[in-house]
Amino acid sequence: MADPGSSPFNASSVDLDKTPRVDIVCYLSGSSNNYDDRLGLRVASIFVILVVSTAVTVFPVLATRIRRLRIPLAAYLFARYFGAGVIIATAFVHLLDPAYEAIGPASCVGLTGGWSTYSWPPAIALASAMVVFLIDFVCEYHVERRYGVAHGAVENIITDAPAPAPDADASPASRLRSEKSDSDLEELAHLTGDSGETHRAFQSQISAFLVLEFGVIFHSVIIGLNLGVAGAADFNTLFPVLLFHQSFEGLGIGARLSVIPIPTRWRWLPWALCLAYGLTTPVSIAIGLGLHDTYRGSSYTASVVSGVLDSVSAGILIYTGLVEMLARDFMFNPNRTHNKKRLALMLLSLCLGCAIMALIGRWA
């Protein structure tokens, strides 16, 4: 079937008894974009989102590597689990729901051809989640067969692993300062170098993280394009909402990346991955600006592309968020911390991240 958006349809004289429902739905969803000429503001949005989202993504990585910053442990835990909540809410509210709107049974796409024979968004998300599971399992199996251990070092911040003992020959004041450092900073210390433990943990964890960032970047491309061609009213709402959206997602990305042990020869990788996330949406906005005369985010083709990508990303983030972030840290970690205050902070941060990101879904 041809693109329904190009089929003849007279909107001024519609016979509801004779006009196919698909023609009405496709006409209503296939209107052109309402781009206005405020080019300066749109260009500024590129740099604002680039700087803010990149800075927020880099923050947790810096916290584990630069001790001078003296980032409190509570701030780091908040960033890590708030970000986890954001990722989970993104999967359900910002990806799966828009996928239904784009290619679901009630959409223009979902009423045409083979798209009308099945509810595709959950099926694509399911397939995506299973592919991620298989990738995760194969990587885990490889590490276990090669090194004889599963996963890698579990971070001290979520366990009750003892902190290093202070120097017995140090003065009382030095020991006190050392103990304070142990309680607030040593637990944020990053596992680096070229030890076998570092390599095992890196190989075990990096594949799951790359899949996570891949899923988030898919979504960032679509929203960047849509912001680039948005009309004045939509832009005024979408710009601040997407600024928060990208910042919160970046916080989740950076918090996960910051605790992956990195061998010396890969020490550039965390910074490159943070920059890749920070650049994705601004570059997509710039592409949208370049295509503002021709790109229609609600066209049939664009709906198919965005619906499929959103469904794929939803499956990736559902698996990663619920399994890698929640189940691994809270349910199946035999060394999970028993510190009630720390656990309460972790859980409250998680729920807050879910709630705020779900709320943002009201606008974008």
Tens digits of residue pLDDT in 272-282: 999 999 999 99
| Percent of the chain surpassing pLDDT 70 | 76
Structure tokens at 294: 């021709």
List, for residues 108-158, the tens digit of each pLDDT value: 888 888 888 899 999 999 999 999 999 888 888 877 787 665 554 445 555
**Buried/exposed 58-89: b ≥16 CB within 10 Å, e otherwise:** bbbbbbbbeeeeebebeebbbbbbbbbbbbbb
pLDDT for the residue numbered 302: 84
In whole angstroms, what is the distance from residue 153 CA to residue 109 CA? 47
Tens-digit pLDDT profile for residues 52-65:
999 999 988 887 77
Domain boundaries of the chain, sorted by first residue: 48-147+188-362
Smallest Cα–Cα separation from 212: which of 253, 154, 151? 253
- What is the predicted pLDDT for the residue at 292? 74
DSSP codes joined into one string, 293-305: TT--TTSHHHHHH
The C-alpha atoms of residue 113 and residue 123 are separated, in whole angstroms, by 17
